[in-house]
Each structure stands twice: as C-alpha cells, then as structure tokens.
Structure 1
Amino acid sequence: MKLPAQPNRSLMDGLACLQALTSCTGPIGSRELARVLRLEPTRVNRLLGTLASMGLAEQDENRKYRPGPGIHALAAQSLFGSGLVNRAIRYLPPLHKYGHVVALGVLWRDQTSYLYQVNPQRPTEQGLVQGLPFPAASSGIGLVLLAHQPEDAVRDLYNPAHPPPLPLSFDPPKLDGPQGLIARLRRIRKQGHALVETDLGRRTLAVPVGTANYAAVAFAGTFPDTEVPDLKAALQEAAANLAT
C-alpha cells in the first residue's frame, strides 16, 4: 500500500520502535535501536520514553528497553478480538490426525508470524502463538500470502524506490529469473497453494484463508507428492471454516 500524501512520520517512527522492541530476543538500548532503525538517537530515545509512559515499553535494571505490559494486553485483545484464534482452536485440531505439524500464520511486510503451531507428536512443546517472526520468502505461509499481493507491491517491498518507513527484518531474496521470488509467486498463484522444501526432507504445504488472504494454514512434515491433493483438500476445508 502506498503512503498517503502527508504521512504522519512521528506515528510511523513510533510504530517502528514498537515493532523492533517486540522482535528483539532481549532488552535493547536506545542507541542500538536507533542504529537498527536508521533513526537519530535523540528521536528514538524520546519515542521510547513516550512508549514507556504509556506502558507499551519498559526499562530493565540496565536502562535498556523491552516490551511493556501494555503491548501484551494489546496483543491479547487483537488476537482474541479478531475471532481468528478462537476459530483456530475449534477447527485446526482435527487436522492433527494426519500426523504433521499444523500451523496458522499471518504476513506483515517481509515476515511471517505464527498464531498456531502444533506438533501432534509433541503437543506440550508447541502450541498457540509462536512469537518470533520468520522470513516470509522462506515460509510456505508467507509465500502463499505474498503470491496474492500485486507484483508491484512485492517488488516495492523488497526493492523500494524510496527508503521504507521500516527497515526489512530479513535479507531480501532474489526477485527475478526462473528461480526468483516473482516467478515462484506466479507458480503458487496458479496452483493455489505453496509447497516448500525445507531441511532434512521436510516440506510445508500452505493455502490461504478466505478471499482477503490475511492468513494461511499449513501442514509441515514429511509427505510424498501423492498425499498432497488430500492434504490440500483438508487445509482448504479448514481455511473455509476459519474464514467464516
């Protein structure tokens, strides 16, 4: 989506700080965060102070910043207020009978975040909300959602004509050529699903949820090509229920 004619830069920078805080694996100093975001340190320090005053950030004993209790409340409200997680709890467990990891994820810019990720063989080790983001261009869920975006939007995301308000979270993929991202997305769009080969012979099969393509559901595991049609049909049925 293009920026409006008069974007609110303060709002964009504040959200950039907040997003960076929630993506860090530990507390981060204001100067280090300024380097990550390519922003002026005094501005970042002021924005972090404002977020802390609102409870969206907090400082530890070393005066480094981390997400505050307010951001956790917002996350819970958004997850359960949307109804998507409630529907996932209802409609995704039947997929566990296939013996593969079942995942539900969303796309934001160049990253995939998982709202549901359960391995039926180790249910106590994995569950709702797998927090850290994953590169969308390497994720079945990310790829099937990128495939339903305009190609110009994908190009502008990974190779913007102007510096973006938020830096990319991951190194950009190769866009052009037979094995480039654009060609892969065209194939995914045509076949209606993403099938991604990962490490140790594992694969991910993903389909989008609904016509708005705001989320996707996937199987991850080891399965042959002959099982793909049946697995895809099961995912599509679950996706239709999640979209209601």
Structure 2
Amino acid sequence: MTDAPLQTVTNAARLLKAFLTREESLGVSELSRRLGLGKSAVHRLLTTLAAEGLVEQDLHTGGYRLGLVVFELGEAVRVHMDLHAAAGSVLAHLREETGESTQVGMLDGHDVVYVDRLESSHALRLFTETGRRVPVHCTSSGKVLMAFAPEPVRERYLATATLARHTPHTLTDPGELRRALATVRARGWADAVDEREIGVASLAAPIRNAHGVVVAAIGIGAPVSRFRAIPRKRLARTIVEAGEAVSRRLGWSEEAPVLEKES
C-alpha cells in the first residue's frame, strides 16, 4: 500500500485553504509558489476540484476562486451547529418529561442520520448511537422528514427506494407508504411500532428553520411495552411541542410564510 493518495488529498486541502486569504482569485503560478508545488501538479488539482464544483475559474482573469459547493458545505456545517445548539436543552427536557431516549435526525438520501441523541435512564433501553443511519420508510423520524420533503423529492424516493421488509409490520408498498406520509403531513407527527425491529417503537415531529422548512425531526424511541403505556395523543402533543420549541430557537414562528425547500 502507498500513501500517495493521502498526499494528494493533503495537497488538495492545502490548496483550498489557500483561499482563506479572501483574495478575489488566485492563479496557478501564485498557488504553486504558496504551496511549494509544481505548476503542473497545481493545475491537475485545480482541474479535479473544479470538476467537483469546489473551485471555479474566472474566465476573464484565468484565476481561480472557491466554488459554490464550498459555500453549500459551509451552510451545512452552520445548520448542524445551529441545530445542535437549539436542540440540546429541548432534548434533555423531553427525555426528563417522557423518561425515554430522545433524538434528532436529518434526512440523507434514503436514510435518516441521528445527529443528536440522549439515552434513557431506564435499565431496559435502546442503544442507537449518534451518527447511525436508519431507513426512512420504517422509522418515525424518516416518515416525518419524507412527508415534509418537497413533492419531487418524495415522489423520486417512492419511485426508486428499496422498501426492505425488516418485520411483518414494515411498509413495503409505495402506495401504502404514500398514504401514510399524507397522514403524517396532515396530523404533524409520525410513529413507527415494530416496523424496523420487533419490540421497538418511536414517535417524531418536525423541526423547522426560520423559513418554515422542515430540516430535521425530533422524537423518542422506546420499548413497545413502555411506549404503549403512554396515551398516543398526549405523547404526540409533547413531541410536537418539543419540535416547535427547537424550531423557534432556529428563528421559526407560526406566522412566518413557509418556503419550500429546494429539491
């Protein structure tokens, strides 16, 4: 094995960091001088990064600047940081109020990624670590995120996703799942009981940003035995209120117009 690919990645990272000086654009010669690399090597790096949208060339000067993808990555980081700060105390309060594990999930393709999680204090509890991916179609967070996704995103998912059967209760028919997502949009929350794993239940509600766009889902996960002991409507109301609390911390208000997230 060789570390040559790692060196290439290191050089690409160094090149991108060269733009932190906030100069309007940098040419191949100047980047070569600053990085201590040959012009041909810098040109190859720039060509590769440009193909991925990380840099772009100014056709008038021939120089390079950061591309829009870098801005999008920066926005993604900001959203995650803002979400973590906004959700932290709400997650803790929700865990205290329900006694169950609480979590925040975000949509990534056909999966939900848990970006924040607090574990229940019960001896019998669920172990789903932060960063874990779970399928959209058989989780409450996934149903919330897909239900409130732009229609083209939702329809593309229903047309292309593999709706794997994890238990006898998993929704595997696209038409049935479409109807379930419509119900989620109408009532404002989703649940999943025995759908991903027998004996496991969850309930989730949306988190909106300042524009009213659903960017995440907040919910609880619990063994079915304890989940069924709490009246469903009361639990749903508690979690919807938690989602609204996080949303307000992100700048949302009920009076604000809802802008549809770009598909």
- Relative to the length of structure 1, the TM-score reads 0.58
Residue deviations 1:126-162 (CA, integer Å, cap 9, x gap): 99971132111122101111011244422213435xx
- The equivalences for 1:33-44 within 5 A come to none
Structure ID, larger Rg: 2
Taking only aligned residues, the RMSD between alpha carbons, in angstroms, comes to: 3.6
For residues 49 and 138 of structure 1, do their structure 2 counterparts lie closer, same or farther at Cα, with a shift above 3 Å needed?
farther
The answer on 1:54 being equivalent to 2:53 is: no
Give structure 1 regions of 4+ aligned residues with deviation exceeding 6 angstroms.
125-129
> d(CA) in 2 for partners of 1:232 and 1:150?
23
Q: CA deviation at 1:240?
A: 1.6
Q: CA deviation at 1:191?
A: 2.0
Q: Which residue of 2 aligns with 1:239?
A: 243
Aligned residues of 2:139 and 2:191 also touching (Cα < 8 A): no
For residues 137 and 94 of structure 1, do their structure 2 counterparts lie closer, same or farther at Cα, with a shift above 3 Å needed?
same
Q: Secondary structure at the match of 1:214?
A: strand
Letter in 1 for 2:231: E
> d(CA) in 2 for partners of 1:94 and 1:227?
19
Q: Which residue of 2 aligns with 1:196?
A: 192
- The equivalences for 1:142-181 within 5 A come to 142-159=142-159, 171-172=162-163, 174-177=172-175, 180-181=176-177
Q: What percentage of aligned pairs have identical amino acids?
A: 21
Q: Which residue of 2 aligns with 1:140?
A: 140
Q: Which residue of 2 aligns with 1:184?
A: 180
Q: CA deviation at 1:80?
A: 7.5
5+ unaligned residues in a row in structure 1: which ranges?
A: 1-44, 57-73, 161-167
Q: Which residue of 2 aligns with 1:113?
A: 113
> d(CA) in 1 for partners of 2:85 and 2:126?
17
Q: Which residue of 2 aligns with 1:91?
A: 90
Residue deviations 1:21-64 (CA, integer Å, cap 9, x gap): xxxxxxxxxxxxxxxxxxxxxxxx98x875454359xxxxxxxx
For residues 153 and 108 of structure 1, do their structure 2 counterparts lie closer, same or farther at Cα, with a shift above 3 Å needed?
same
Q: CA deviation at 1:82?
A: 3.6
Q: Which residue of 2 aligns with 1:230?
A: 234
Letter in 2 for 1:232: A
> d(CA) in 2 for partners of 1:192 and 1:116?
21
Aligned residues: 170
For residues 176 and 131 of structure 1, do their structure 2 counterparts lie closer, same or farther at Cα, with a shift above 3 Å needed?
closer
Larger displacement relative to structure 2 (97-106 or 191-200): 191-200
5+ unaligned residues in a row in structure 2: which ranges?
A: 15-72, 165-171, 250-263
For residues 219 and 81 of structure 1, do their structure 2 counterparts lie closer, same or farther at Cα, with a shift above 3 Å needed?
closer
Letter in 1 for 2:174: D
For residues 90 and 128 of structure 1, do their structure 2 counterparts lie closer, same or farther at Cα, with a shift above 3 Å needed?
farther
Letter in 2 for 1:110: H
> d(CA) in 2 for partners of 1:214 and 1:228?
24
Q: CA deviation at 1:100?
A: 1.0
Aligned residues of 2:148 and 2:214 also touching (Cα < 8 A): yes
